[in-house]
Amino acid sequence: MTFDATSAKKFLESYNPRDYPSIALTVDLVVFAVTDGVLNVALVRRGGHPFKDALALPGGFVGPEESAIQAAGRELAEETTLDLGRLPVHLEQLATYTSPDRDPRMRVVSVAHLALLASDGTSLPKIAAGSDAASAGWYPVHDVLRGKEMAFDHATILGDGLARLAGKMEYTTVAARLLPEEFTLTQLRTVYDAVWETTMAAGNFTRKMTPRLHDTGRKSRGGAGGAPAALFTATDLHIHPPLTKPQAPGSPVTPE
């Protein structure tokens, strides 16, 4: 990487820090996990002003030597006390929120990330409150969004995170990242039902998904009566053509 002192100086002239107020770079996390057929999000209850006592997304500052995704992974590890190196956690950048007045204290640019935690469907990972949070816990996503009382622009971010997940599930097997490494088709279908708030037909779901998954050959113990289901692992294959989320009634396909 070659550049000389003159050009660096010229750059710093065009970028005069006096003209630009100090910018804080943060990450906000939209962390999802499924239990009992419900999609949950990890939220913290704010301990201080502004938005004291309101629900907020967990997050933190991006360190000087790390990228945003690295900061997101670090915060996630701190918060969940999970070993991210071993756990297959899905983490991706969502969007960046830059409105100058989104935080009344100073200019805070936040790179939101979407994280999917594996869960067996009956219990959720423990999460710990961060520095600025009084308490942390899991909340049903759809309920929270219908209530829409959140700190800063976090309701928007959460909505964007849900939309990203719901959309991506149409054409990828990313829903499997919300399940243990080996899972049954019924478990996977439960994830779709939870995120899309629908009820997928079991038979057709099996027929469509099976060619996109890898059959381990093993069977699950039938938990509550019924035949043991085959255990699958996810592949990184795209679903083509996509799985179609059932059209909401009243959303027209043809104009006028």
Which residues of the chain form contacts with DNA (CB under 7 A)? Answer: 184-186, 201-204, 206-208, 210, 219, 221-222, 224-230, 241, 244, 246
Among residues 90, 107, 142, 208, which is the contact residue for a second copy, using CB under 8 A?
Answer: 107
214 binds a second copy (CB under 8 A): yes
- In sequence order, which residues have a C-beta less than 8 Å from that of residue 58 and are 6 or more positions away? 28, 29, 31, 42, 43, 44, 75, 79, 127, 130, 133, 136
104 binds a second copy (CB under 8 A): yes
C-alpha span between 7 and 223 (Å, rounded) = 68
User: Which of a second copy, DNA, none has residue 201 at its interface (CB below 5 to 8 Å by kind)?
Assistant: DNA
Task: Count the site residues for a second copy by CB under 8 A.
Answer: 61
For residue 224, what are the CA distances in angstroms to 111, 151, 166, 186, 217?
A: 43, 42, 29, 13, 21
141 binds a second copy (CB under 8 A): no
81 binds a second copy (CB under 8 A): no
Rg (CA), the chain: 21
The half-sphere exposure of 87 on its side-chain side, counting CA atoms within 13 A, is: 21
C-alpha span between 72 and 75 (Å, rounded) = 5
User: Which of DNA, a second copy, none has residue 195 at its interface (CB below 5 to 8 Å by kind)?
Assistant: none
C-alpha span between 175 and 170 (Å, rounded) = 9
> In the complex, which residues of this chain contact a second copy (CB under 8 A)?
1-4, 7-8, 10-12, 14-15, 17, 19-25, 48-50, 52, 61-62, 64-69, 93, 95-96, 98-100, 104-107, 109, 111, 131-132, 211-214, 235, 237, 240-242, 244, 247, 252-256
